[in-house]
Amino acid sequence: MRTTPLFTLSAVALCLSSTAFAESAEFRQHSAHQHGLVEWVIAQDGNDLLVEIAAPGSDVVGFEHAPKNDEQTTALNSALIALADANALFAVNSGAKCSLEEKDINHTLAASKGDDHDEHGHDDHADHDEHGHEDHVDHDDHGHEDHKGHDGHEDHKDHDDHDDHGHDDHKGHDHHDHDDHEGEGGHGEFNVQYTFHCDNPENLTSVTTGWFKAFPQTEQIKVQSLTDSGVTATDMTASSNTFTF
């Protein structure tokens, strides 16, 4: 089987100079990863019909992180099976006689670095606590002996100030760690590429999708296409799941 290089959204964008696609490219920059919104880019290259799909993880599996339990693992596996059924998700009108040649399915639901950081942070924090308490006990003993021998109230007051300062620093350390954890979260998504070979590309007229049935959390699909018929930019919904070239 001949291997057709898979295209990217940016590569197709370079091929299109129409106002319609320029506006859609700008839209993608400003609304990247919007829950409920999936984006398709379609390009005809001779007998080949190339499709690229970008979808938020929440639309496809209901979460955007690595699976944390058996239920989520099952959901991910089921989604990958559904995405592999290109003809169900992207049904070209029969007159074009298109058949799937290649598919490439990727996702970014990888384990978060924040998990490792969290574990590391707590270990360091525990060591910090233990070290702090040991030093504090020694400091207390020393302080009380000095206090007993010299009856120095000012020294004891300084010791209290040291306690307050230590706890404040410790509190700030906690807050900083948790802020870092929250900032490290990412947005998992799916990127799918299909390559179809069409015996009669001149007969390309429409595509009907089963995406909304497979992934009901999607509310809208934005489609941009470039074929011999011209440039098309349209939207699909569950109640309007067919578009024409």
What CA–CA distance (Å, rounded) separates 159 from 231? Answer: 76
The pLDDT of residue 128 is 45
24 is written with which tokens? 């859609």
pLDDT of 127 over the 70 cut: no
For the whole model, what pTM was predicted?
0.63
The pLDDT of residue 226 is 97
Is the pLDDT higher at 93 or at 7?
93
Q: CB neighbours of 1 closer than 8 A, spacing ≥ 6?
A: 101
In angstroms, the Cα distances linking 40 to 65, 69, 152, 159, 212 are 23, 31, 77, 66, 14
Domain residue ranges in the chain: 9-110+187-244, 113-183
**Residue (of 167, 168, 176, 174) closest to 132 by Cα position:** 167
DSSP category for residue 2: P
What CA–CA distance (Å, rounded) separates 228 from 198? Answer: 13
DSSP category for residue 95: G
The structure tokens 């760690």 sit at 177
Confidence of residue 33 (pLDDT cuts 50, 70, 90): low
Dihedral (Cα; 14, 19, 23, 28), 10-degree rounding? -20
Do 192 and 55 contact (CB within 8 A), yes or no?
Answer: yes
Confidence of residue 124 (pLDDT cuts 50, 70, 90): very low
What CA–CA distance (Å, rounded) separates 23 from 237? Answer: 20
Angle between helices 153-183 and 113-150 (to 10 degrees): 180
**Average pLDDT, rounded, for the chain:** 73
The pLDDT of residue 108 is 95
Q: What is the 3-state secondary structure (H, E, C) of 176-241?
A: HHHHHHHHCCCCCEEEEEEEEEECCHHHCCEEECCHHHHCCCCCEEEEEEEECCEEEEEEEECCEC
